[in-house]
Amino acid sequence: MVIARIVSIVIGYVFGLFETSYLYGKMKNTDIREHGSGNAGTTNALRTFGVWGGVITLLGDVCKSILAIVIAYLLFHNQYPDSVKLLMMYAGLGAILGHNFPFYLSFKGGKGIACTGGFIIAFCPAMVPLCLAVFVGAIVVTRYVSLGSLLVVIVFYMQLLIFGNQGMLGVDYSCLNEIYLLGAVIVVMAFVRHRGNIVKLWNHNENKISFHKKEEEK
């Protein structure tokens, strides 16, 4: 199944290269990396292009993970019925990697949270309600998208462990440790990509979300 793993992560990476905010900005003759935080993700798209730009970026980044996972499933579910969930996870991880580290943008992409959201939707829909509630609740209470994002990946991993131990992932138990490892990689990558935000949160000077278009962050 080594080849299947490689194929799955490559499929994900290729889909992840569709950098929605960057491509949307190019349509408006704007390089998003030169505005706001310089990050090619949903939050910076919202701050740079307004609500519509943020929504388009969110949908694009969510859907590319879903499509990558669906393709991996279609390719391998007959050949590896008991392990296809693992291959779906490789596809999701690949999409996040492609989004975060696109080769054509000098490996400077987004932070992968919208992609992670798409991955959760396609990999295990039962995880979505709690993840969504935590994300929305954190933003409503604090207006810190970064805090909501970090809480989401923590809640995702907690559910991954619980669902796996309870046999709710629909995967062979021989794959569980590898699934837990890949999940940990996703969580660690989210924290690494948000390391600057973590420092700002600690120092109480993190930017709060605004739904009004701004030319620069305050």
Using CB atoms within 10 A of its CB, is residue 99 exposed (0-12), middle (13-18) or buried (19+)? buried
Task: Tell me what pLDDT residue 215 has.
Answer: 40
What pLDDT is stored for residue 210 in this prediction? 63
Residue 203's pLDDT band, with cuts at 50, 70 and 90, is very high
Helix axes 2-16, 84-100, angle to 10 degrees: 40
DSSP string, 84-152: HHHHHHHHHHHHHHHHHS-GGGTT----SHHHHHHHHHHH-GGGHHHHHHHHHHHHHHH--HHHHHHHH
pLDDT tens, position by position, 54-89: 899 999 999 999 999 999 999 999 999 989 999 999
Return the pLDDT at 132.
97
Residue with tokens 């992560």: 9
| Per-residue pLDDT at 174 | 87
What pLDDT score was predicted for residue 217? 39
pLDDT band at 216 (very low <50, low <70, confident <90, very high): very low
* 32 band by pLDDT with thresholds 50, 70 and 90: confident
CA 216 from chain centre, in angstroms, equals 24
Comparing 138 with 51, the larger pLDDT belongs to 138
Average pLDDT on 88-114 reads 94
- Average model confidence (pLDDT) across the chain: 91
CB 44 within 8 A of CB 197: no
**With pLDDT > 70 as the criterion, what percentage of the chain qualifies?**
96
> pLDDT digit string (tens) for 122-165?
999 999 999 999 999 999 999 999 999 999 999 999 999 999 99
pLDDT at 9 over 60: yes
The sign of the torsion formed by the CA atoms of 157, 158, 160, 164 equals positive
Who has greater pLDDT, 35 or 98?
98
Which residue ranges make up each domain of the chain? Answer: 2-202
- pLDDT at residue 213 in the model: 46
